[in-house]
Amino acid sequence: MSIWSTQDVARDAVRRQAGGLDTAQIAARTAEAAARARETAADARGALRRGTDLPGVEIDMQRLADTWAAKHTEWQRIQTLLETTGRAMYEPADDETGTRWERERGQHREERLAAAAAHREQVRQDRLAVAVQLRLTPAQAAPLQQAAVRTGLTPEQVLAQLAARVETAPDGALSVSAFHHGHP
């Protein structure tokens, strides 16, 4: 899934390409985008009828057609902006609508990146958190409870300290070296 819609991608691309172009160049780009929009729409319809694309090439013909249609719409918007304002050349900084859209895209991107980072951190934390259920017989639980009483910890805290210090021998045997609570 993309952070930006087809329209967002088209607006961004056209805005960057249009900077510094005069009205005649903008009109030519608008006409070219209209032709490409028609061609790719026809290609997309044809690909649906044929049910095949180019072998070994993954092209979403409908997305390509949608992108060219969106680019054509944006070129038209810029052309209309120049005509209504009487400007001879397009400068992205003078385009209030385009600047607002760019700011919104940037804000949306930052929000999505922050959400993705938060999700990655939550997944990391979830992997670190291990819920263990341990069933001990009264005879097995007695030494654990005695250690908890002597140290002033809960049985779960004693087990956590033991788990933090567990060592695995080459043969797979587990052991915990002697230690005092609160000492490394």
Is 42 contained in some domain? Answer: yes
Is 165 contained in some domain? Answer: yes
The overall longest dimension of the chain from CA atoms, in Å, is 92
Is 181 contained in some domain? Answer: no
Total residues belonging to the chain: 184
Same domain, 25 and 65: yes
pTM over 0.75, yes/no: no
Nearest in space to 81 (alpha carbons), one of 66, 104, 61, 97: 97
Same domain, 147 and 117: no
Is 183 contained in some domain? Answer: no
Domain count, the chain: 2
Average pLDDT, stretch 133-146? 89
More confident residue, 110 or 4: 110
pLDDT at 43: 83
Same domain, 114 and 31: yes
What percentage of the chain exceeds 70 in pLDDT? 89
Same domain, 16 and 91: yes
pLDDT higher than threshold 80 for residue 4: no
More confident residue, 95 or 50: 95
Same domain, 148 and 122: no
Same domain, 147 and 104: no
pLDDT higher than threshold 90 for residue 22: yes
Integer angstrom CA distances of residue 138 from 53, 135, 143, 146, 154: 70, 10, 9, 12, 16
Is 41 contained in some domain? Answer: yes
Q: What number of other Cβ atoms are within 10 A of residue 25's Cβ? A: 14
pLDDT higher than threshold 70 for residue 153: yes
Domain boundary among 128, 147, 164: 128
Q: Kind and range of the H or E element at 108?
A: helix 96-128
Nearest in space to 39 (alpha carbons), one of 75, 65, 11: 65
Same domain, 80 and 104: yes
Domain that holds residue 66: 6-128
**Neighbouring residues of 15: CB distance < 8 A, sequence distance ≥ 6:** 74, 78, 92, 95, 98, 102
- Dump pLDDT digits (tens) for 55-89: 665 677 888 899 999 999 999 999 999 999 999 99
DSSP 8-state class, residue 154: -
Is 30 contained in some domain? Answer: yes
Same domain, 97 and 15: yes
- Dump pLDDT digits (tens) for 110-137: 999 999 999 999 998 888 776 777 888 9
Same domain, 96 and 161: no
pLDDT higher than threshold 60 for residue 108: yes
